[in-house]
Structure 1
């Protein structure tokens, strides 16, 4: 069986909608020709206004919104006949569709299919009147029965036409979507039925008499409820949008240190904006890189350099309402049935560092609120990406400084010692026969210097080895070190973790591990502690590492003076390392009271998790 391509299905859908539009508007224009004079134009104008308001402000019902207009349409039909009803109804729906800036095809289709649906229901009335005459029903019940049949047929025809469009078009129309739409329409039918019954109960069976005030007060509650509930629903939608935007930005901040910080947000962007697809390009070291894709995107999309260079000149959001007219530089990266796009540049200090693109399948579907939401999210992404770039640059600079330091140490230490040893050995070789004693002295000095050089080389090699936190997480590296210390010293060590663990940058992990390691060694070798307590706490605003011992303590003032003269990883080195990651180091100690070392690393947007109390390596 030959498969129907998406473009063919799109063409069939357009053809069906065009056919319905032509038939419907032919009926509407024919109704215009058949118009008679109106006896009471004030009532007609009032009902038209009510119809406009009800269409513009659809009433929220269970899991959706629907315009409760059928009671007004029915009264129009009773008072003025089908011609006026079709014309007024079509004009109201047409005006609302134009105000909402819907696609031209939809603007003409909606009034046409509604007019056709009501006309089909009206054609059925003569068929059921003989049955109603045979049934001994009071006038009120007869009117209610007639109203119910008309409502049911109207809804069935209307929904069948819409369902056919949704089934024919290439976009997936699942049973879940059909169920959702049907339940929404049933809710609308229930409200319309209740209002229709009320219409007859209060005496609307006197169809020949028109009282403008009676109609005004009768329909005012329906229109008022629609207006009020629609306003409340819009406020709730805006509240939910802001809440979701806050949630996404918070989650972005949380995952900032992680390498795959964008992958966990798959689906969030599209859900927030109500879109079908999204892309994010980021400019890294002068080159544009596609960093995030979600939804209906062409796999393996590659853009030409010229197209990517267009991004650099964009400073404000640009809307492309119809792909056929212009879809922008990245249109080919989306599936063919994706029609409308919003290109939002990520700008920091007038520099475009990224491009965020959101797409929908319906043309002209992006409104001002949508663009504002996308721009807000893009601004947040720009700040986060720039912050991440600064973090990366800072870490590279620190690594480069460390390499330069090692190079200087080798040049000033090992290289000089080796050069001196070579010179002494050359001199010893020349004096070997003439002065054996001086030769032996030079050789001994050279051997001593070479041994010192060998020790420095080993220290340099050790410094260049992969760090414990590079081979494992911070927690695992700490646990391994605790296990090694307990084997060697039989030390009592308690380790507690609080909060939800998060991935940290390598530099932060290194400084935390160095602080832990130096503090623990000091507690064992110098403080003579019998017990060491460790706390690693992931809190809402920062990460806290605390090392506490019950040793003999020390004078911080004397330790600072001593640290200046001893080149090892002591208090000054711990403080310098903490400053490099914007952390705060605090040391509390007095002679005879033990020592507590705390290092606090600020983190953006970490949510405090539940406390996972764990006592590891308790000896």
Structure 2
């Protein structure tokens, strides 16, 4: 250490200051490196586990269905779309590999490298590979019964990002040393209190306190050194703030992506538009932390929005919204709404506070447009207690979620339209066939019954025209027989006309015609009938009476033909704004979804689908509740004001 005495004091000061500065900078850089590495690894592990569990959930159905093609497609699509994924494989319950993403084959021993302990939802282990460290996650498929999914995620990208940030921090620190090196050269003349204070501040900074500053007095070398040291400290503090902001931004972005992924996963398995609306609303409320909301959809351009889903609202308030969203609850025309927008800023929303049974703690809501690329499909509304809950970040995320949901709604509507068109084609063909069969039946009855009866009647009338051929008594008997035959012909004609369209429907109205038809068909089949009426009975418009009668006719016919029921309850409800017909039986029941799928089996469900079409033509609904062994209930509701 004698050589230090041979060096000038000025150089000693420079060496001392630089040593402390380097120690502080490297210490902070090392601490920042460790903190960033820990946070990045934690987020990476969470994302890896979430990805593995999501893949396991999707692979479960494919494994149970033994759909190896779909399983390989799922694995390969995930491998291509997720850069961090290095391999995916699915093992059966015996540990044998069913599907994998390795080209020539699974590396030896890899399939035995990770197992899920009993009772654990997943298990993670780290493996060393030629490409770097890999996190291996094992996730059971349906509690492990069909097998296990193994997902390998490379940590190399995370490590590279951490090292890059660390190098930037060290470079920034190196740049900050330049003014220190220049200024400290002039501090050799002063070895008093300012140097001691400088050492004290340096020690504090080394402990991580970047708020400390060196007192600067005068304009000499010591003062300049203090100022330079303060600049360096400020640069370090700014770099640390920038690094923390970058970390927060990265974390926020990961949270946004996780929210969008959660919504996409929730709506991916929705079968109908209503299921999609409910799934999207439920998951959006969950990821955004809100408790109540609703969804309005516009099936076709020019139509009024209709309520398709609601969560967290009192029943009366949901019923109030079912009649339509007030015009004041959109900031402007919904068709021009591009981003999530706060409704009624600065004042309570009427649709949340003006109803009798309102949610008292909810006073405002944000309207989220559900848009595809070219079409506005509706709005999703999330309610909150205060406007402050809707931050700009929430607004941006909700706008992205709205576009994602809008694309899904468009696909769902297109799918429903295709299914409806396919059904209508099948229904049209079946209707033509039924019409031809009905014509054949009428012609056969006219030929076999009415034509022959009329021929006999003509012959009897000819005999009656010559009473002397039979005598007085014989002539009277022939007249009686002829009269009885005429009565029989009249009954046959009336029965044939009733099958085509009962005259009671036009003369007396829906109630007598439906009651007579039910009695005429159920009693001969030995089925006990209970016919009830609720509300004030009155005549309905002709098109509504015809539609309700045909729906009831088909429902009663299905009971007789298919239900094997012993009892039937029929209720016809008259209300001020709608009429409701309910036909319930205690028969064997069926699965409505399978029966209504005409694309799978065109011979099934056409009667039920025809009933649905009749109700839809009048803006009504048809609800079918049935289970095997639990009977069937068919309820048709037709509005009286909105029907065309």
Q: TM-score, normalised by structure 1?
A: 0.35
Q: Greater relative contact order (Cα 8 A, min sep 6): structure 1 or 2?
A: 1
Q: TM-score, normalised by structure 2?
A: 0.34
